Amino acid sequence: MTDALSTLTAAIDRIVAVCGPNIVAGFPLGLGKPNRLINALTARVTADPSLTLTIYTALSLDPPTPKPGLESAFAQPFLDRQFGADYPRLDYVRAQHLGTLCARIQVHEFYFQSGNWLDSSAAQRHYISLNYTHVARALVGFGVNVMLHLVARRGDRLSLSCNTDVTLDALDAFAARGKPRPLLVCAIHPDLPFLGNDASVPLTFADVLVDEPGHQLFALPREPVAVHEYAIGLHASTLVKDGGTLQIGIGALSDAIVAALLLRQQENTFYRQATTALRLGREAPPLISDCGGEAPFALGLYGASEMVMDGFMHLRRAGILRRQVFSDIGLQTLLNQGRIGASADADTLERLIEAGLVPTAMDRPTLTWLVKFGLLSTGCTIADGVIRYADGSQSGADLLDGGHRHALAAQITGRPLRGGHYLHGAFYLGSKCLYDWLGQLQGDDFDGLGMTRVSFVNELYGGAEALDIAQRHQARFFNTCMIHTLSGAAVSDGLADGRVVSGVGGQYNFVAMANAIPNGRSILMLRSVRERQGRVSSNLVWNYGHTTIPRHLRDIVITEYGIADLRGQCDEVVIQRLLAITDARFQDELVATAKAAGKLDRAFTLPEDWRRNTPAALLAAIQGLGQPERFPRYPFGSDFNAEELALLPALGQLKAATSNARGKLGLMLKALAAGAPTAAQNARLQRLGLAAPARFKDRLLARMVAGFLPPD
């Protein structure tokens, strides 16, 4: 029986009473954590030496902590605005960073906020490597006895909202293993969007309900997209099939794909010019005509992605995310084959009869099926061989009779299919704009968004494999990796020394799924190079000491220099195709290594057109299009204000110039010799508290920043 809105203290008392001294807690990843409730639990355990707490979770979101000085002067006002000055940060995260976490509290994560825990021995030692779909099963084995969840409420219904992912699967896993159901404590957040379908559950779903005092939801700042990232997005967009399925993640490369898809739909002539220019004089790869396209979307796309992020919002608003999928294999197959459309026409009944979905002798189950999918109105009945329609007319149930068949066809014609979904997701995370959009969904936009289990989104298995494959028609799974080896393996979550950067999450699931779907493809994207402290390195390497996606699952790889189709190819061809999209500065060394290993013919020479793979050539191709406004730094707007946007380039240049001791010393000497900042520069420096610095150190810093600001 659900308690009526317990206080935080009462909720913690209940947890201790039910779980005993050894509390084993499962928290949803990301936004679904009830921070204040979690902080109250960790505080109780810290204060009571008789209690222990073991936490299993992923992606413990924490606003960045800027370093004192210039970084803090710029970032802190932005962070206060973005997250709220009173945002309840997770105490266990802060304590882990400080090394002060209570010894009786242990935290196990299976996905890190990217790069946050590289220097934490405790976090690295306690990390658990899991496919996202295996988490629910693992929670049973871990002996989780309490689960805490942030929820929305509307009347007598709760919504799991941002995290339907693991919760539903986990509860089923406990029941299937005959294990006691964990205590489920739900905190109601007043601003969390209420979403329906599988996310909607009764109040009794929770064992304890708590009010979560309002605070700003953790919103990710919208990221900038650079020229080379736009190039990756444009290449990727040509592999998306009209009438197909889209899975994308989050970050600049995903934003670049979405921007390119919008360009393909709305400015198709320019889009084709851009994709041609970015091939740097090469022919379009056959892969585009075989599995993608460059025309606008006539049929639209269906989204199936563990994470619902801003990109899906933009695609839905643009009318691209509109292909719906349905929970019937026969109906879905007819749609995939183009034998019926999203709205019934005069031939639809015939196609349904031919497919065996409607018998020639109509019965009550078939009538119910037609009503369920919107092909007949609610209120239609059948009895004694007579169909009575909602408009008062009637006909016989024997469809071998031409008149009866014609009457039923007339009722069906023109009716849109109902009960479909344009997007399935397991959790959502994004900007404030995304949360506003989700909270305002109505009608078909609300009904067609299906937040559901991660087992549904991330894998095909579980009893409805044929339907899952049919729904994911022409699926394109886009994921990002950090490094790719020339043998075809991808590195996405960890480093060669064993340290974990993020986690495998659902990436392996999606790559495997793409290989299991007859017309599915996995596309891994990466930037061809990375730069650190002024040194440029290739992200396409001969070998690496860690693998996320094994080489036997190699499929399609994209860099800013093009597309490499690796599926089913021998090692030598794989190496050659990856070399063709490698930055020209690193090709010769990689060729020599491959030849030395006997993996590349000694007579092989690099084609001259591959040597065009340079940042300068890429920039020239973009500039040659003559419309730089098509490639804005922030394609979907920025959370920075105009003043901050004006400062960002200068701060970025300053950081690059001082990345090593020599550069820093040279810049300081240059600043000492420079004159005082101009009035216009001082206006910008005001935002950093450097307009009238008193200390010599701050005056020097002001001049260093001013050196990268326009004088007027």
**194-221, pLDDT tens digit by residue?**
999 999 999 999 999 998 887 899 999 9
pLDDT at 498 over 60: yes
Amino acid at 175: A
Extended strands (E) in 131-229: 146-154, 157-159, 183-188, 200-202, 208-211
pLDDT at 701 over 60: yes
- DSSP for 21-54, please give it: SEEEEE--SGGG--HHHHHHHHHHHHH-TT-EEE
Confidence of residue 1 (pLDDT cuts 50, 70, 90): very low
The average pLDDT across 232-237 equals: 98
Confidence of residue 661 (pLDDT cuts 50, 70, 90): confident
pLDDT at 112 over 70: yes
Using CA of residue 210, residue 214, residue 215, residue 221, what is the dihedral sign? Answer: positive
DSSP summary character for residue 477: E
Q: Can you tell me the distance from the alpha carbon of 604 to that of 665, in angstroms, rounded to the nearest whole number?
A: 46
Closest-CA residue to 475 (of 509, 445, 444, 429): 509
Token pair 């390195």 is at which residue? 537
Which domains are present in the chain? 8-211 (3.40.1080.10), 227-319+430-442+453-616 (3.40.1080.20), 329-412 (no CATH), 642-706 (no CATH)
The model carries a pTM of 0.95
Contacts of residue 279, Cβ cutoff 8 Å, sequence gap at least 6: 562
**515-551, pLDDT tens digit by residue?**
999 999 999 999 999 998 778 999 999 999 999 999 9
Amino acid at 635: P
pLDDT at 186 over 60: yes
66 touches 79 (CB < 8 A): yes
Bigger pLDDT: 586 vs 682: 586
Q: Can you tell me the distance from the alpha carbon of 109 to that of 92, in angstroms, rounded to the nearest whole number?
A: 12
**608-656, pLDDT tens digit by residue?**
999 999 999 999 999 999 999 999 999 999 999 999 999 999 888 888 8
SS3 121: helix
pLDDT score at 116: 93
User: For the chain, how long is the longest CA-to-CA vector?
Assistant: 100
> Mean of the per-residue pLDDT values for the chain?
95
pLDDT score at 652: 85
Token pair 């294990």 is at which residue? 179
pLDDT score at 473: 97
pLDDT at 2 over 70: no
Confidence of residue 696 (pLDDT cuts 50, 70, 90): confident
CA 517 to chain centre: 21
Dig out the tokens for 691 from the structure: 């307009």
β-bridge partners, 200: 159
β-bridge partners, 478: 523
**135-170, pLDDT tens digit by residue?**
999 999 999 999 999 999 999 999 999 999 999 999
pLDDT score at 409: 96
Q: Can you tell me the distance from the alpha carbon of 406 to that of 402, in angstroms, rounded to the nearest whole number?
A: 6
- From residue 667, give the alpha-carbon distance in Å to each of 72, 516, 706: 21, 56, 11
The average pLDDT across 185-189 equals: 96
DSSP summary character for residue 614: S
Confidence of residue 665 (pLDDT cuts 50, 70, 90): confident
Q: Can you tell me the distance from the alpha carbon of 164 to that of 168, in angstroms, rounded to the nearest whole number?
A: 7
Share of the chain above pLDDT 90, in %: 87
**441-486, pLDDT tens digit by residue?**
999 999 999 999 999 999 998 778 999 999 999 999 999 999 999 9
Q: Can you tell me the distance from the alpha carbon of 463 to that of 529, in angstroms, rounded to the nearest whole number?
A: 43
**673-693, pLDDT tens digit by residue?**
888 888 888 888 889 988 888
pLDDT score at 4: 66
Using CA of residue 670, residue 676, residue 681, residue 687, what is the dihedral sign? Answer: positive
- From residue 150, give the alpha-carbon distance in Å to each of 25, 38, 55, 200, 206: 14, 10, 16, 13, 11
Asked which of 69-78, 247-256, 606-615 is least confident by mean pLDDT, the reply is 69-78
